[in-house]
Amino acid sequence: MTANVSHSPQSSHALDERLAALVARWQAYRELGGFEQFVEFSVALNSLSEQLGRLRLPGLLRIAQGLENAALARFGDQESHPLAETDQLALDRQVQTLAGAIASARQPVGERRAEEGRVVSSDPEWVRPRAVWLVTADGNSLADHLDSQLRHFGFRALRLDWKQDLPAEDAPMAVLFLPEGAPVLPVQLERVAAVRAAVPAGQLFYLGGEREMEPVVALMRAGIDVTIPREDVGAAVLARMLDLVQTREQERYRVLVVEDSRVAAAMIRRTLSEHNIDSEVVADPGKLLDVLPVFRPDLILMDMYMPRFTGVEATRVLRQVAGYQSVPIVYLSSESDIGMQVEALRLGGDQFLQKPINPVVLAAVVRTKIERYRETIRSTRTDGLTGLFNHTASKARLKGMIEVLPAGCNLCLAMVDIDHFKSINDTWGHPVGDQVIRGLAWLLKGRLRASDLIGRYGGEEFILALPDASPDKAISVIDRIRADFAALPHAHGSGVLHASFSAGVACLDHFSTAESLTTAADNALLEAKRKGRNCVVNACEQRA
């Protein structure tokens, strides 16, 4: 169990399919030149952009979005197609650039080696490079600290000065620019622009930026993706780096379409399907309350005018049902009266789309609304300091994992507690204590799998659940993380400190419920503390 640095075969296959669909639909438009073909091309492009965003490939996403904006600017209507040959050639160059950038980012896994130096596989797979460039002057203490931290978390950091020639190989996942101070100088903007041209698929960070609009905009125009103020650099950079190398397969979006027109419903479902979004159609709004608990939508597309009830009336009823007061509702209608639209929004809707609906706009609205809705829900389930599941969500997640565990499949639970944490807070202060907690959270996210549960159980205590893992394997993984954490340096005002943790592990083959499993792991954790801390205790051995 190592860092989740490569995309799953399913994700890779989905990206291949969407790229192939984009190229095929662009060629169809080049041959036929019809408005319908251009719509199909635009939808395919929007779908590809979504997949690049889901895979957290910001550089490639930027290229795709540039093409998407160029296509939308030429969308027009039936009469505006086929586009002039100059416009088609311009779009064709952008399509080829995007396809080439994606192809160059794809490398055989066998060309990259794991931390132990062994070849992982010779099969082609999507792999994010782990290289990070640090563009900085000599003697920069912040660069020294970041270099050490990044290497500890498995990144390959390469130091470059502000004038050094760029390496010809090993394209980086990210480039970190560390200036000596403010303000941003023209020569720095030139360097950023040169790196952006050389590294189109990587993400560029400017560390130590000013909290003012003008310099930030100048950096963005040069090619910077993210500016981070100096006081936030340490925590923010590592968090973002680990975020880039982790792909979390999320549950598919679900959209309920309340629409009595079969033609309109078919068009909507087709558009949503292109974006891997599940949908269900309700032609009779009178059946809405029966469908809701079964389908559990993330968003409802509500036609304004239907037999028996209007969309507004259906929405008003829906808003009185527990659990559906905040589900996004987007109205669909040919209604052009602004007063009517405003009134509809006042009565419970979230947005108004006018028919005929641009499929690209429809997909963008649906995705944006659902992402914000899920983020709102997620914020109630995650710990603010680490971004991990909080106590309540961890318990619920563990219970759910056990309920769906296949017959004969094991699951091991670990309770982890940072040793002498009160002493760390008392000696170095709570900000340093928070840094130690974040460091362990990042290490856990970097070392465990996407299928594993990682939660902050409370204070300095964490809960981990590893499905499909034998006791020996779970103990080995947790003990490796323990050793790595003990070696991790945590910087503070007077230098660095090191911390350790104790852990107790219990497995379902000896304890059958979430409650008994947690209790057993917690008791094993107490035993680890009694043994002197900085060790892992197996509850099964204690039981024997």
From the list 205, 311, 214, the residue with the least C-alpha distance to 257 is 311
Contact indicator for 140, 162 with CB cutoff of 8 Å: no
- 158 beta partners: 133
From the list 32, 41, 43, the residue with the least C-alpha distance to 82 is 32
Residue owning tokens 């904006």: 69
413 Cβ contact partners less than 8 Å away, ≥ 6 residues apart: 398, 463, 464, 465, 466, 505, 506, 507, 517, 518, 521
Contact indicator for 479, 435 with CB cutoff of 8 Å: no
d(CA 50, CA 251): 14
d(CA 232, CA 252): 34
DSSP 446-478: HHS-TTSEEEEEETTEEEEEEET--HHHHHHHH
Task: Give catalytic residues, as residue numbers.
Answer: 460
d(CA 223, CA 57): 16
Amino acid at 508: L
From the list 163, 156, 154, 155, the residue with the least C-alpha distance to 136 is 163
Contact indicator for 177, 188 with CB cutoff of 8 Å: yes
Residue owning tokens 């779970």: 474
How distant is the alpha carbon of residue 443 from its chain centre?
17
Classify the C-alpha dihedral 8-9-10-14 as positive or negative.
positive
d(CA 81, CA 59): 31
d(CA 106, CA 112): 12
Residue owning tokens 């024997």: 544
Give exposure, 46-80, as e/b (b: 16+ Cβ within 10 Å).
bbbbbbbbbbbbbbbbbbbbebbeebbebeeeeee
105 Cβ contact partners less than 8 Å away, ≥ 6 residues apart: 57, 60, 126, 171, 201
Three-state DSSP state, 267: helix
